[in-house]
Chains A and B, each alone.
Chain A
Amino acid sequence: MKSSHGTGYGIYLAVFAALLVLTGATVAVSYLDLGVMNVAVALLIASLKASLVALFFMHLKFENKLVWAFALVPIFFLVLIVGGTISDTLYR
């Protein structure tokens, strides 16, 4: 059964290279003064990297819906916690 998740050495090396390039990019951007955009760009790049790791290294891309649910439910709760806390901090 589902032995070959279709993840060969090639795709791992491609993801690895992309992660290195994105790390270089986020360090380079940190030397520019973009104001609040520095935070946005850093978080965007971090999330891109996290997605690559989850989809390919953790092979979420090749998993069934149940595993996806197990992966996404904590993210949903984290968004609730962070969102609620931010609005409480900013608008109280």
Chain B
Amino acid sequence: MAAEGSGHAHMDPAQAYDAAKLGIWTFLATEVLLFGGLFTAYIVFRLKFPEMFRIDHAHLNRLMGATNTVVLICSSLTVALGIAAIRKGKQGLLRLYLALTILLAAVFLGIKYVEWNEKFAHGLFPDTDVFFSLYFVMTGLHGLHVLGGMLVLGGVLALAWRGKFSERYYTPVEVSGLYWHFVDLVWIYLFPLFYLIG
């Protein structure tokens, strides 16, 4: 799959596609360990201060957290459908799904913004205690990943608009899609750990 069109490729297109995929999986491995370090910190402090976690987690808005979970799941679906579309050569559908994904990412960040403001209004800051330090650092780092994903997907959408992709070549869509699903994966763990279990 995924030919590169022009003749400058040193690898054959299938090999280039496989190499790109291993590249993004390698990057995701570093991401697992980046977030893994923070999850480890969460576990340690949770074991040390169970009361703090039990009391503080009640300050988080479960409804907003659950809504954002649904928003990200929807965005994962739209990315997956976009890749399915371009595999069949449907460029218009790909553009639509990419645009929807970026829109959903913006909704996620909007809700996050409202949530953080609500916390600040109640005098809850990153230096309030260890729970809120972890909450702001981990959801903040995740939010930066969402922002980064919007930029990357925006770039892919620009390429799609110029007709760069076809059923024979869609490697950037595939690679950015894998990254986007990973961002969803991280939130799948952040949501219960902060909002649901105290």
What is the CA–CA distance of A65 and B91 in the complex, to the nearest angstrom?
Answer: 31
Which size bracket describes the interface of B in this complex?
35 or more
Interface string of B18-38 (1 = CB under 8 A from A): 000110011011101100110
A interface secondary structure, majority: helix
Interface secondary structure of B, over-half rule: helix
Interface size class of A (residues with CB under 8 A): 35 or more
Partner of B21, one of A8, A45, A67: A67
CA distance A61 to B33 in the complex (A): 22
- Per-residue interface assignment for chain A, residues 60 to 84, with 1 indicating a CB less than 8 Å from any chain B CB and 0 otherwise: 0000001100110111011001100
The answer to whether A38 touches B32 (Cβ under 8 A) is no
> Interface residues, chain B, CB within 8 Å of chain A?
1, 14, 21-22, 25-26, 28-30, 32-33, 36-37, 39-40, 43-44, 47-48, 62, 66, 69-70, 73-74, 76-77, 79-81, 84, 87, 167, 178, 181-182, 184-185, 188-189, 191-193, 195-197
Q: A-side interface residues toward B, CB under 8 Å?
A: 1-4, 7-9, 12-13, 15-16, 19-20, 23, 26-27, 30, 38-39, 42-43, 45-46, 49-50, 53-54, 56-58, 66-67, 70-71, 73-75, 77-78, 81-82, 85-86, 89-90
